Amino acid sequence: MAGSQHPVPAGSLWGVPEPRLPHEDRYGQGAGEQGRPFPCSAGCLVASDGIDPGYAGDLDAVPGGGFAAGDGSPAPGSLFASAERFITLFHSENRAGPPGRRLARVRREIETTGTYWHTTAELEFGARVAWRNSSRCIGRLYWHSLRVRDRREVAAAPDVAAECVAHLREATNGGRIRPTITVFAPETPGRPGPRILSPQLVRYAGYQAADGAVIGDPANVAITRLAGALGWRGRWPAGRFDILPMVVQEGGTRLELHELPADAVLEVGIGHPEFGWFADLGLRWYAVPVISDMYLDVGGIHYPAAPFNGWYMCTEIGSRDLGDTGRYDQLPVIAWHMGLSMASERTLWKDKAMTELNLAVLHSFAAAGVTISDHHTESVRFLQHLEREARHGRACPADWTWIVPPTASSATPVFHRYYEDFDQTPNFYRHPAPPLLAPARLRDHQPGLAAW
Ligand code: ARG
């Protein structure tokens, strides 16, 4: 599931996803207890009030969701059409015999309840195929091995938070990362289902001062502000790598903050195999990227909270998270320590610094026993995946601009060809950003928000 290094779309500095675009932003540790204002157990509630109900109201609708608008229910006919396509695919790929009887049951269920319930096998298959259909993901060779945690009975925010913590622990697996998804309650007619507002389960705070300067990750300014509005006090003093609490919403109601216990989040300090000074930069990153702001669509049923993870590819952290000028912007400081001349672009100081930063990320994760891959290996695997899909007679959608790595692009085989891209369900779709997570500069006039 390694991922994206797509050129940053407008607004993404603020963590605002492109509305209604399919697919996740794929391409894209021992955090100390001290300084934590809310010592707590797994997934505990740390704050729930203090938010202006006017804002909370903005968060009710889940556009793109099948059931959330108005009375909300999709026409039974269109739901059945989606169900029929999926159930037929399930039966044919799993050699489960003719789908007729199952389809008749699904049709009756939709007629009487307005929705239908997937079998465990259907849900597992649906989640795996959603990964397989994610055209921005270079890491799909292992789609079949996705571990599916069926938590469809879980809808209350504290339980969602606790299950997210359990997900992190199981997926981290001491460093041998396991691609995993947890599927929470679906949307049903009249019930929107739970939602996670945090873009990933683990994110570093981005504290923005009045002059616009940011301490931490600028990508997370909006979600940090939202946490502040919900009562999170932040760490003091503010650090560059302070782990945010999760923001969880129970079925269209108010938002809750839930801290992640420090021992559920594995982090890796970044050092370099040769440059002794590198560790002194104090850089670190978390081990497991768990995307949490996308909904899973399987056969017309929407699962609004379905956090999933793979493992990192080094360029996601080295080239983008720590390298982008709109993120941690570490290339100048690394180049300076390397003694490179930054007087001219033509010394290629950025290229050299970026390569060493990627090397440091790979080296540090490996030394810590944490799964990570590099863009060369992952590119070869992706072409294997394409071949395998072709052998199964399946077309594989892929988005060149996301598949091609941001570093050493033309040195990887995925660069030298084109792909067909198309939208196919099951799939993951990003929730449209709620107004509360709109770019900060558009919201500066709004009252009631924390200073940062
Ligand atoms: N690019 C994102 C990040 O740097 C993570 C996206 C998912 N990546 C993955 N390898 N599954 O945090």
Q: What is the pLDDT of residue 109?
A: 98
**Position of tokens 């707590």?**
40
Residues with CB under 6 A from ligand 1: 1-4, 25-28, 289, 291, 310-313, 316-317, 320-321
Buried/exposed 404-435: b ≥16 CB within 10 Å, e otherwise: bbbbbeeebebeeeebebeebbbbbbbbbbbe
- 85 close to 133: Cβ distance less than 8 angstroms: no
Residues 302 and 134: their CA atoms lie apart, in Å, by: 16
- Within a domain: residue 444? no
% of residues, the chain, pLDDT over 70: 81
pLDDT over threshold 50, residue 372: yes
pLDDT tens-digit series, residues 422-440: 999 999 999 988 877 866 5
Residue 232 CB partners (closer than 8 Å, separation 6+): 46, 47, 244, 245, 257
Q: Which atom of ligand 1 has the smallest separation from the CA of 27? A: 1
- 294 close to 24: Cβ distance less than 8 angstroms: yes
Residue located nearest, by CA, to atom 12 of ligand 1: 289
Q: In terms of residues, how long is the chain?
A: 452
- Within a domain: residue 100? no
Residues 2 and 441: their CA atoms lie apart, in Å, by: 32
Residues 269 and 280: their CA atoms lie apart, in Å, by: 10
Q: What is the pLDDT of residue 73?
A: 66
Q: Which atom of ligand 1 has the smallest separation from the CA of 310? A: 11
Sign (positive/negative) of CA torsion 382, 387, 390, 392? negative
Q: What global pTM score does this model have? A: 0.85
pLDDT over threshold 60, residue 405: yes
- Within a domain: residue 326? yes
Averaged pLDDT, 19-35: 27
Residue of higher predicted confidence among 41 and 408: 408
Averaged pLDDT, 24-48: 28
In angstroms, what CA-CA distances link 209 with 214, 215, 228, 234, 282? 6, 8, 13, 13, 22
Number of domains in the chain: 1
pLDDT over threshold 80, residue 67: no
- 26 close to 1: Cβ distance less than 8 angstroms: yes
Averaged pLDDT, 240-250: 98
What pLDDT band is residue 44 in, cutting at 50, 70 and 90?
very low
- Within a domain: residue 449? no
pLDDT over threshold 70, residue 242: yes
Using the mean position of ligand 1's atoms as its centre, give its distance from the Cα of residue 375 in Å. Answer: 13
Residue of higher predicted confidence among 30 and 5: 5
Using the mean position of ligand 1's atoms as its centre, give its distance from the Cα of residue 355 in Å. Answer: 19
- Within a domain: residue 323? yes
Q: Which of 66-70, 196-200, 263-267, 285-289 has the lowest mean pLDDT?
A: 66-70
Residue 146 CB partners (closer than 8 Å, separation 6+): 127, 128, 131, 179, 180, 181, 308
Q: What is the pLDDT of residue 439?
A: 62
H/E stretch holding 428 reads strand 427-430
Q: Tell which one of 1, 4, 290 to mutate to probe ligand 1, the residue whose CB is within 8 A of the most ligand atoms.
A: 4
pLDDT over threshold 50, residue 178: yes
What pLDDT band is residue 346 in, cutting at 50, 70 and 90?
very high
H/E stretch holding 286 reads strand 284-286
Q: How far apart are the first and last CA of the chain?
A: 33
pLDDT over threshold 50, residue 61: no
Residues 264 and 261: their CA atoms lie apart, in Å, by: 5
Print the domain residue range for 12.
Answer: 3-74+115-419+426-437
Mean pLDDT of the chain: 85
DSSP-based three-state secondary structure for 252: coil
Averaged pLDDT, 224-246: 98
- The token pair that represents 426 in the structure block: 């099951």
Q: Which atom of ligand 1 has the smallest separation from the CA of 316? A: 4
What is the 3-class SS of 45-100, one letter each residue? EEECCCCCHHHHHHCCCCCCCCCCCCCCCCCHHHHHHHHHHHHHHHHHHCCCCCCH
- Within a domain: residue 92? no
H/E stretch holding 336 reads helix 331-338
- Within a domain: residue 43? yes
- Within a domain: residue 66? yes
Q: Which positions are annotated as active-site residues?
A: 137, 140, 311, 316
